[in-house]
Amino acid sequence: MIAARDLHKRFGDTKAVNGLSFDVSKGEIFGIVGPDGAGKSTLLRLISGILEITSGSIEVMGMDVSRDRYRIRENLAYMPQKFGLYEDLTVAENILFFGRLFGLSRRQILQRVPALYNFSRLEPFADRLAGKLSGGMKQKLGLACCLVHSPGLILLDEPTNGVDPVSRREFWKILYDLLADGVTIVVTTAYLDEAERCNRVAMMHNGTFITRGTPAEIKSSIGGTMLEIKTDNVWDCGNYLEASGRFKNIIREGTSLMVFVAARDRGIRDIKKILAGKNIRVHRISESAPSLENCFMQITSPGRE
């Protein structure tokens, strides 16, 4: 569906996208995660043909984005972070308006509306002004408006940013329903738990993918072992471990500390030695499965291995 080769985008001295090569297959949901400024939005804009690439190439549905962007757009939806809903139009009017922008007739749009209402569950709110919708509902309406022309490829830029957790779950349910209909989705997110739901994930940092693969592949590529230290003094315990300079990255999670070590038994021995005589009560040190968030922190942390 997408084939990018040595893709670059510069803004002056800023290398927003810095030599990316990747493929996205039909029917998959490909997640791009990374901190602010990583280059995620720029990448989506390049795929959608809104921005000119600086060098390299990008094909979408077998067509060159630089040459065939208008043909590609007939089958593509791009939902930017700030989607331009008309707040003083109703839900139904917004859908009609965006359908006309895509060049559809009123009749074609009305034929499509039941499917849009069906997945977005917005029908009961058809006559409500868009400006009066909750954040989650606005995002669903934005998505519905992007999908009036039944695109095969959907690009979503942080669609659940600032949306409450229940609405986020609902939004992801919609994405899965769309996938079941055979569309391809590329979604950027700052939420690592959302990345876990993608078929494949790329972690983006400074314009490049620092790692990519299925969530399981990324976790196994980290190497070493993550240890969970259960203690009632997470803060001081973390400080002692940090001060030792032995560990690259110590993650505090509630009543636990997560630490990556090269080898399990040696790691446990080292931790016990560092904490000996420090008046820290450790209940348990055990091996734990890292989340994608743990992996991302580990990969991006400077310092020791």
Give 23's contacts (C-beta < 8 A, 6+ positions apart). 2, 3, 4
What is the C-alpha to C-alpha distance for residues 157 and 142, in angstroms, rounded to an integer? 12
Q: Does 16 bind ligand ADP (CB under 6 A)?
A: yes
The single residue among 37, 56, 152, 213 that binds ligand ADP, judged by CB under 6 A, is 37
**Helix or strand run (H / E) with residue 135:** helix 135-146
Structure tokens at 24: 């996205």
The single residue among 41, 48, 184, 211 that binds ligand ADP, judged by CB under 6 A, is 41
Binding window for ligand ADP (CB under 6 A); candidates: 9-17, 97-105, 239-247, 276-284: 9-17
Structure tokens at 49: 């043909």
User: Judged by CB, which is closer to ligand ADP: 157, or 270?
Assistant: 157
User: Judged by CB, which is closer to ligand ADP: 133, or 187?
Assistant: 187
Q: Does 90 bind ligand ADP (CB under 6 A)?
A: no
Among candidates 38, 49, 57, which has minimal Cα distance to 75? 49
Binding window for ligand ADP (CB under 6 A); candidates: 31-39, 82-90, 125-133, 242-250: 31-39
Q: Does 142 bind ligand ADP (CB under 6 A)?
A: no
- By CB atoms closer than 10 A (0-12, 13-18, 19+), residue 108 is middle
What is the C-alpha to C-alpha distance for residues 89 and 206, in angstroms, rounded to an integer? 39
Among candidates 32, 168, 142, 147, which has minimal Cα distance to 81? 142
User: Judged by CB, which is closer to ligand ADP: 205, or 248?
Assistant: 205
Binding window for ligand ADP (CB under 6 A); candidates: 33-41, 105-113, 191-199, 235-243: 33-41
Q: Does 138 bind ligand ADP (CB under 6 A)?
A: no
Q: Does 176 bind ligand ADP (CB under 6 A)?
A: no
Helix (H), strand (E), coil (C) string for 221-256: HCCCEEEEEEECCHHHHHHHHHHHCCCCCEEEECCE
Q: Does 48 bind ligand ADP (CB under 6 A)?
A: no
Binding window for ligand ADP (CB under 6 A); candidates: 36-44, 56-64, 114-122, 262-270: 36-44
Q: How many Cβ atoms from other residues are within 10 Å of residue 291's Cβ?
A: 19
Q: Applying CB under 6 A, what is the total number of residues that bind ligand ADP?
A: 11
The single residue among 1, 4, 20, 38 that binds ligand ADP, judged by CB under 6 A, is 38
Q: Does 163 bind ligand ADP (CB under 6 A)?
A: no
* Residues making contact with ligand ADP (CB under 6 A): 11, 14, 16, 34, 36-42
